[in-house]
């Protein structure tokens, strides 16, 4: 788990310099920064632009184009819920609507130090949808109650047992 307690410009600069010589270095640098800090601080734009001889606009464009790069630290629990067609056919939109109406958790708007929940498209678990990645672990057969429990801190093991799934 990355240390998201603070962005360190010195450590970030070391990462950028170490990877700047790679072919197509922008994405490896961004992944390394996010792995180290849990997010991409706005100061990374200047670091990357300078190291790779890019304009600020080009560096910013890459950072903001890819939805996997976070601009702020994620919560202690990170949930990525699939809203692709197969999961929609299995009721993910009903799950998301119920989560909002009954539990006050709004997907793509909930991002604090406790919980980040966001939409992704296709986790490759279509037969067991609706699905989500919870702290990097795949959870299938989600319903609103299990998802609400996961948002509230239910362990992954309890969620898997409740679905009848084992890894």
What local confidence, expressed as pLDDT, does residue 165 receive?
57
What residues contact residue 130 under an 8 Å CB cut-off, 6+ apart? 81, 82, 87, 90, 91, 92, 95, 140, 141, 142, 143
Domains of the chain: 9-65 (no CATH), 77-163 (3.40.30.10)
Helix/strand/coil for 10: helix
pTM for the predicted model, two decimal places: 0.75
What local confidence, expressed as pLDDT, does residue 4 receive?
45
Cα distances (angstroms) measured from residue 92 to each of 85, 116, 135, 158: 9, 18, 19, 20
Whether 99 contacts 147, CB under 8 Å: yes
d(CA 167, CA 163) in angstroms, rounded, equals 11
Tens-digit pLDDT profile for the chain (167 aa)?
Answer: 444 458 999 999 999 999 999 999 999 999 999 999 999 999 999 999 999 999 999 999 999 998 789 888 989 999 999 999 999 999 999 999 999 999 899 999 988 889 999 999 999 999 999 999 999 999 999 999 999 999 999 888 887 776 665 54
d(CA 50, CA 48) in angstroms, rounded, equals 5
Q: What is the largest CA-CA distance in the chain?
A: 52
């Amino acid at each position: 788990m990355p240390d998201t307690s603070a962005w360190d410009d010195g450590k970030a600069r070391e990462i950028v310099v170490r990877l700047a010589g790679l072919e197509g270095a922008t994405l490896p640098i961004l992944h390394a920064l996010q792995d180290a800090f849990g997010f991409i601080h706005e100061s990374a734009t200047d670091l990357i632009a300078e190291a790779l001889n890019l304009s600020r606009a080009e560096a910013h464009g890459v950072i903001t184009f890819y939805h996997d790069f976070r601009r702020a630290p994620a919560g202690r629990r990170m949930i990525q819920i699939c809203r692709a067609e197969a999961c929609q056919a299995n009721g993910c939109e009903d799950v998301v609507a119920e989560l909002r109406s009954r539990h006050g958790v709004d997907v793509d708007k909930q991002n604090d130090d406790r919980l980040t929940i966001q939409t992704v498209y296709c986790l490759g678990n279509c037969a067991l949808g609706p699905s989500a990645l919870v702290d990097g672990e795949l959870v299938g057969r989600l319903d609103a109650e299990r998802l609400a429990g996961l948002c509230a801190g239910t362990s992954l093991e309890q969620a898997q047992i409740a679905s009848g799934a084992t890894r």
